[in-house]
Structure 1
Amino acid sequence: MRKIVTIAAALTMAVGGGLAMAPGASAATPCPSGAVCIRETNGSILSRNIFYSYGYHNLSNVLGYRVLVNSQTGGAGFQVCLGYNGTNCSSVVRGTGEYDPYDMTPINSVVLVP
């Protein structure tokens, strides 16, 4: 429980939102090792929403509540950003696994960081 609280605290965004770790969440489609994925509402992961390379990835048509999955290795993290091209971002999230559904409607990019 302490790990979940620590991760949730680290995910608080400057704009007042945040992400929280989903304990024991199970998924229909696994996120490949080394990637950050955005899961569709039906549990699938579209290939366009699997990110491997560091840097920003602009999103298109990712709306509503979605599950983010960090399957990166070596302590790599990610950020969700209100702006395109990795601007106006949350703090870096380094915990691996799935996160509680998060409203992606205002999110326009995801940044992968080493």
Structure 2
Amino acid sequence: MRKIAMAVTALSLAVGTGLAVAPSATAAATPCPSGAVCIRETNGSILSKNIFYSYGAHNLSNVTGYRVVVNNQTGGAGFRECRGYDGTNCSPVYRNTGEYEPIDYTPINSIVLVK
């Protein structure tokens, strides 16, 4: 009987700890500032180095794995994802505002903001 009581207590503590520690996806998401394009980290946060305001090419550093891009620019401005540095070998322009589906950023080396 004692073994069962200890197992139930251990299970209760494990479940309780898991619920208290695990944040929801919404709580972990950091908002992208107005007028910017942002690349989210895998945990939902946004590093200051991955917030872009100015038009033109921005080279990326250590941005790998599946990432979500948020276009929060105004006036119909868009962005392009590029395999080369300095805005070369790029995708078409994406102009919709909001979050985009996650894509693998491992081969992406720059992002270009366009009017």
TM-score calculated relative to the size of structure 1 = 0.77
Structure with max Cα Rg: 2
1:96 aligns with 2:97: yes
Residue in structure 1 matched with residue 68 of structure 2 by the alignment: 67
- Give secondary structure in 2 for the equivalent of 1:83: coil
Deviant stretches of 4+, over 2 Å: none
The one of the two structures with greater contact order (alpha-carbon pairs below 8 A, sep at least 6) is 1
Cα distance per residue 1:58-100 (max 9 Å; x no partner): 0000000000000000000000000000000000000000011
Deviations 1:6-37 (A, max 9, x none): xxxxxxxxxxxxxxxxxxx9561000000000
* Structure 2 match to 1:33: 34
More strand by share: 1
Letter in 2 for 1:69: V
1:87 corresponding residue in structure 2: 88
Unpaired runs of 5+ in structure 2?
1-24
Q: For residues 36-60 of structure 1, give each alpha carbon's deviation from its aligned partner in whole angstroms, at most 9, with x where no partner exists.
A: 0000000000000000000000000
Partners of 1:109 and 1:28 in 2: CA distance: 23
Q: CA RMSD in A?
A: 1.3
The structure whose residues are more often helix, as a share, is: 2
Partner of 2:12: none
> What is the one-letter code of the residue matched to 2:62?
N
Which letter maps to 1:84? Answer: Y
C-alpha distance in 2 between matches for 1:102 and 1:68: 9
CA distance in 2, matches of 1:74, 1:60: 28
| Identity rate, percent | 80
Report the number of matched residues: 90
Tell me the TM-score normalised to structure 2 length: 0.76
Report SS of the residue matched to 1:89: coil
